Amino acid sequence: MDRTRPDALRDPCAYLAQGGECELFAQAYAARLPLLLKGPTGCGKTRLVEHMAQRLGRPLVTVSGHDDLGAADLTGRHLIVGGDTRWCDGPLTQAVRQGAIFYLDEVVEARKDITVVLHPLADDRRQLPLERTGELLDAAPGFMLVVSYNPGYQNLLKGLKPSTRQRFVALTLDYPAPALEARIVASESGCGDAVAAQLVALAQALRRLTDHDLEETASTRLLVMAARLQAGGMALSDAAHHAVLQALTDDCGTLAALHEVQRAVLGDGG
């Protein structure tokens, strides 16, 4: 694939590198090391993993972390099938058996008991203990453990313990530089270059805000969503309002302030 073409990112696994992250990922894979991705929501962490799985020729198993996700959800459990009790592998066990890349997104959102199964896979043992079956699985060749989280969103109750963090090679991603981000927005959405540049300028202005209690700021993902609305015929100002501003806050006062920023960047008509 010619990655200099404007439509390069229309491949759902394509990725425009910010720096040396693809090389680091490949080197960690070759060295059989687990990888920790850190960065804000919507900056490209998942897309990087998808791209590298395709580039390395490995199957990818992805699980999103949430409050109810525990070790058994990853390893598997006994289920009643046709009157019989059978063991059913969970997604992590499947990845270990087949030598896939296993990606746990937002690892800190999951329950703490997942560390029991992640730790032996994240060190030289590369093993998965299945207490319920008595198995001790050695990771098949090609297996790689990748986890991600958003350091800016974590709190004391949802941090990553040093004993876990220090088992991983760490890579920090951020939002792309403006020129690269505009290329991504245009390629992902089909909008024009001028529209992409305007949306990136809006994101830059929103990311500089420090006097509003926003849990998250404008991500590249939100810009792509707004650009797709605009490419479909919606006015840019309306697309930005619904896809970007409304996604950032539910507070009427904060939304009004963000709208003033939008007007300053895009104008009234957009």
* Residue 219 identity (one-letter amino acid): S
List CB contacts of 126: < 8 A, sequence separation 6 or more.
Answer: 32, 120, 138, 139, 143
- pLDDT given for residue 83 in this prediction: 80
* Least trusted range by pLDDT, from 82-91, 114-123, 177-186, 216-225: 82-91
pTM of the model: 0.87
- pLDDT given for residue 210 in this prediction: 63
Q: What is the mean pLDDT of the chain?
A: 90
Alpha-carbon 6 to chain mean position: 23
- pLDDT given for residue 153 in this prediction: 61
- pLDDT given for residue 196 in this prediction: 98
Whether pLDDT at 78 is above 50? yes
Check if the beta carbon of residue 129 is closer than 8 Å to that of residue 83: no
Whether pLDDT at 241 is above 90? yes
Query: What's the rounded mean pLDDT across residues 130-153?
Result: 91
| pLDDT confidence band for 211 (50 / 70 / 90) | low
